[in-house]
Amino acid sequence: MIDLICICCPEGCRLQVDPDHDYAVTGNRCPRGETYGREEVISPVRIVTSTVRLTSETVPRLPVKTDRPVPKSVMFQVMDEINRVVLNPPVRLGQPVISDVAGTGADVVATRTVTA
Amino acid sequence: MTETDLVIIGAGPAGMAAALAARARGVGRILVLERNGFYGGILNQCIHNGFGLHYFGEELTGPEYAERFSTELASAAVDVHLDTMVLSVSPDRQVEYIGPKTGYQVVSAKAVILATGCRERTRGQISIPGTRPAGVLTAGAAQRYVNLDGYQIGRRIIVLGSGDIGLIMARRLTLEGAEVVAVVELMPYSSGLTRNIRQCLDDFDIPLLLSHTITEIRGKHRVEQVTVAAVDADRKPLPGSETRFDVDTVLLSVGLIPENELAKGAGIELDPVTGGPIVSDRMETSVPGIFACGNAVQVHDLVDYVSAEGRRAGDHAADLLLNEPAAKEDLISLTATGDITYVVPQQIRQSSLSAGIDIFLRVKRPLPGGGVITVCADGTPILRFRRKHLNPGEMERLTLPHQVMSQQTAASFSISVEAP
Ligand SMILES: Cc1cc2nc3c(=O)[nH]c(=O)nc-3n(C[C@H](O)[C@H](O)[C@H](O)COP(=O)(O)OP(=O)(O)OC[C@H]3O[C@@H](n4cnc5c(N)ncnc54)[C@H](O)[C@@H]3O)c2cc1C
Ligand code: SF4
């Protein structure tokens, strides 16, 4: 039995994952915990959040995130690509900023709308 | 002097939810005053994800969560003044403010909601010996510089205090290429959420030094070195346990306190433990017609509960404005005892007993084996809640069910916790 703490939301449910029984998960208060428990044991992934440079007068930084979790092992490669981006406003929330970042299949998307 | 129905101070998640709720209930003239140039308050600098799972059923970043509300607020019939600082609120609800478009104004409101959020404790409030070089800043200020302004704040960093902002910033700065040498915590446990310890420290092998503190900060112009020592059970540094770290930056994440200057000025009674106003279950303060919600009342870990509290304040302010003002009601006190640090609300209206009441509390120390929370009416136990884990860093929410509460005739309620 592997003890984990679900990090999908601040509730922090205590999970038990049973590698001997098809990675069955218990202790989760919602279905996300089950997916997390399984993946964390088999191949851990994380959402990466950061900012990219904007050429705006009033908003120097645009917050961004990967639109899905990426393998923990490539977090720094994702950061490298994010740090090379400079954007011109307007940008709308959800707009892709990098596609297929670090070959993960995930896109980096804007998490805020900036009009000017 | 102009008049209005409802003034809301602060356009963070608490203030936005309050404004939308009051508007939905039909309050006519609502004025929201916000000192920043944008909506969303602290959420704008919280670019990490983990917001809104309860409220929206999905995991959002701070700015995304804020934008859901601000979009709705921008299209609602609510007046919002940005870049506008509220200077004072009087006990009879005259609100004094100053803004670039309006200049200096005083508005008289029938109801006021304080949604001013919280502020960070600073070095002055915790006193570390040594020189006063540059490079010592609060974790929240660092978050603002890095996430909103795009500055690099340092290369080798130590964090004092394991509050959530400190943990989040340890990860953020590591991802940006800095080296975070350690997070130092005076207490034998962290005050941050467990999930943050895991994904912000463990993921990057950043050591968490529990029962340790910084005893000295040295540096001529900029921080050069700090001394860290273990502490004994009385939190006194243990001689001989010192380690030195060469760092250029010290982040302080030593706690948040409700922004309570306006409340003090209005003569509102404060809770010495939360630092925020004492409120009833309708989020009304000791001054009639002045409500409070969000981090201005108690420091929350979950924005979802902040929005819920804001909505409750907006609803009850609407009740006060739209319905015949209820006859003066008796308030029953709800008091935290023993290992419960505080409970909010601190007062319950007689008429709320029939509806059931949501309460929030924190415990003083971790109860790893869980605990039983007991509610007493005039000293007699009436409700028990079992919790598998209790932690000072995690706020607990309980619903006192109407089936039990409506039977009560007590003059006071109290709440306590024991290991099972
Ligand atoms: C670093 C950090 C990380 C967090 N992480 C998470 C997380 O992962 N998940 C989660 O669910 N929650 C998280 N939270 C908690 C949650 O986001 C906050 O509790 C919530 O945003 C507080 O909302 P608020 O509206 O009460 O306060 P704020 O957002 O602080 O808003 C208060 C507003 O009032 C304005 N104001 C204050 N005084 C005046 C004045 N005199 N005149 C005019 N305006 C004024 C301020 O400018 C501000 O905009 C985090 C909090 C912090 C600080
Ligand atoms: S199991 Fe669900 S409720 Fe529990 S921490 Fe995970 S996401 Fe949150």
In this structure, the answer to whether residues A76 and A34 fall within a common structural domain is no
> Which atom of ligand 1 is nearest to B118's Cα?
30
Longest C-alpha distance within chain B, in Å? Answer: 69
Count the domains in chain B: 3
Cα B74 to Cα B318: distance, rounded to the nearest angstrom: 20
Domain containing A70 — which CATH number?
A: 3.10.530.10
In single-letter form, the type of residue at position B240 comes to G
Where do the DSSP E strands lie in chain A? 2-5, 14-18, 24-26, 45-46, 49-54, 61-66, 70-71, 86-87, 96-98, 108-110
Chain A nearest C-alpha distance from B97 (Å)? 24
Residue B182 and residue B269 in one domain: no
Residue A66, domain extent: 49-110
Q: Which residues of A touch B200 (CB under 8 A)?
A: none
Distance A101 CA to ligand 1 centre (A): 31
Positive or negative, the Cα torsion across B391, B157, A75, A115?
A: positive
Inter-chain touch B61–A75, beta carbons under 8 Å: no
Residues B127 and B244 in one domain: yes
Number of A/B CB contacts below 8 angstroms equals: 78
- Are B111 and B213 in a shared domain? no
Whole-angstrom distance, CA of residue B296 vs CA of residue B116:
5
Report CB contact under 8 Å: B59, A112. no
Question: Do A94 and A64 share a structural domain?
Answer: yes
Together in a domain, B311 and B402: no
Tokens 């490539």 locate to: A74
Q: Is A64 helix (H, G, I), strand (E, B) or coil?
A: strand
CB atoms A113 and B50 under 8 Å: no
Its pTM stands at 0.92
What is the spatial distance between Cα B192 and Cα B185, in angstroms, rounded to a whole number? 10
Q: Which domain-ending residue is among B254, B270, B293? A: B254
Mutation for B interface: A3, A4, A11, most B CBs within 10 A:
A11
Ligand 1 centroid to residue B179 C-alpha, Å: 28
A31 with A61, same domain: the answer is no
Is B36's Cβ below 8 Å from some Cβ in A?
no
Can you give the pLDDT at residue B326? 65
Atom of ligand 1 nearest to the CA of B302: 11
Asked whether B295 lines ligand 1 (CB < 6 A), one says yes
> Could A49 and B61 be called an inter-chain contact, meaning their C-beta atoms sit closer than 8 Å?
yes
**Which residues have C-beta within 8 Å of that of residue A11, sequence separation ≥ 6?**
A29, B53
Q: Would residue A104 count as lying in a domain?
A: yes
| Ligand 1 near B34 CB (within 6 A) | yes
Residues of B in contact with A52 (CB under 8 A): none
Please give, one letter per residue, the 3-state secondary structure of chain B: CEEEEEEEECCCHHHHHHHHHHHHCCCCCEEEECCCCCCCHHHHHCCCEEECHHHHCCCEEHHHHHHHHHHHHHHCCCEEECCCEEEEECCCCEEEEEECCCEEEEEEEEEEEECCCEEECCHHHHCCCECCCECEEEHHHHHHHHHHHCCCCCCEEEEECCCHHHHHHHHHHHHCCCEEEEEECCCCCCCCCHHHHHHHHHHHCCCEECCEEEEEEECCCECCEEEEEEECCCCCECCCCCEEEECCEEEECCCEEECCHHHHHCCCCECCCCCCECCECCCECCCCCEEECHHHCCCCCCHHHHHHHHHHHHHHHHHHHHCCCCCCCCEEEEEECCCEEEEECCEEEHHHCCCCEEEEEEECCCECCCEEEEEEECCEEEEEEEECCECCCCCEEEEECHHHHCCCCCCEEEEEEECC
User: Among positive and negative, which fits the CA dihedral B329, B330, B336, B341?
Assistant: positive
Digits of tens for pLDDT over chain B (420 positions)?
A: 899 999 999 999 999 999 999 999 999 999 999 999 999 999 999 999 989 988 888 889 999 999 999 999 999 989 999 999 999 999 999 999 999 989 999 999 999 999 999 999 875 556 677 777 899 999 999 999 999 999 999 999 999 999 899 999 999 999 999 999 999 999 999 888 888 898 899 999 999 999 999 999 999 999 999 999 999 999 999 999 999 999 999 999 988 999 999 999 999 999 999 999 999 999 999 999 999 999 999 999 889 999 999 999 999 999 999 987 666 788 999 999 999 999 999 999 998 999 889 999 999 998 878 899 999 999 999 999 998 888 888 899 999 999 999 999 999 999 999 988
Q: How far is the CA of B324 from the centre of ligand 1 (A)?
A: 33
DSSP letter (8 states) at residue A114 = B
Q: Looking at the structure, do residues B246 and B271 belong to the same domain, yes or no?
A: no
Q: Tell me, what's the pLDDT at A10?
A: 63
Chain A contact present for B195, CB below 8 A: yes
Q: How far is the CA of B192 from the centre of ligand 1 (A)?
A: 17
Choosing from B254, B280, B304, the residue where a domain stops is: B254
Same domain (yes/no): B171, B272 = no
Same domain for A72 and A57: yes
| Whole-number pLDDT of residue B150 | 93
- Protein residue whose Cα sits closest to atom 2 of ligand 2: A30
Q: Do B91 and B136 have their domain in common?
A: no
Of B59, B149, B302, the CB nearest to A60: B149
pLDDT value, residue A104: 96
B265 and B245 share one domain: no
Mutate to test the interface with B, among A30, A32, A64, A111 (most CBs of B within 10 A): A111
User: Are residues A14 and A32 both part of a single domain?
Assistant: yes
Q: How far is the CA of B225 from the centre of ligand 1 (A)?
A: 33
Nearest CA distance, B400 vs chain A (angstrom): 20
Quick one: A19 and A53 in the same domain? no
* CB spacing of A12 vs B50 below 8 angstroms: no
pLDDT of residue B129: 74
Q: Which of B254, B276, B307 is the last residue of a domain?
A: B254
Distance (Å) from CA A95 to ligand 2 centroid = 28
Mutate to test the pocket of ligand 2, among A16, A17, A26, A30 (most ligand atoms within 8 A of CB): A30
* Residue A26 belongs to some domain of the structure: yes
State which residues form the domain around B403: 329-420
Rounded-to-integer distance, Cα B312 and Cα B293, Å: 8
Strand partners, B373: B385, B417
Q: What mean pLDDT, rounded, does chain A reach? A: 93
Residues from chain B that touch A7, judged by Cβ atoms under 8 A, are: 195, 198-199
From residue B51, give the alpha-carbon distance in Å to each of A39, A51, B27, B227, B362.
21, 17, 29, 36, 20
B153 and B239 co-located in one domain? yes
Q: What are phi and psi of B173, to 5 degrees?
A: -70, -35
Contacts of A53 in chain B (CB under 8 A): 150
Q: What integer is the mean pLDDT of A92-100? A: 97
| Domain identity same for B221 and B316 | no
CA distances from B419 to A110, B195, B370, B380 (A): 46, 24, 6, 19
Residue A95's pLDDT band (cuts 50, 70, 90): very high
For residue B378, count other CB atoms closer than 10 A to its CB.
Answer: 13
Q: How many domains does chain A have?
A: 2
Distance (Å) from the alpha carbon of A99 to chain B's nearest alpha carbon: 19
Cβ–Cβ contact B194 with A under 8 A = yes
Q: Which ligand has the minimum distance to the alpha carbon of residue B199?
A: 1
- Atom 8 (ligand 2) nearest CA: A9
- Any ligand 1 atom below 6 A from CB of B50: yes
Query: Is residue A116, in this structure, part of any structural domain at all?
Result: no
pLDDT given for residue B127 in this prediction: 67
Dist CA B121 CA B133 (whole Å):
19
From the list A5, A63, A65, the residue facing B147 with the nearest CB is A63
Higher pLDDT, A11 or B36: B36
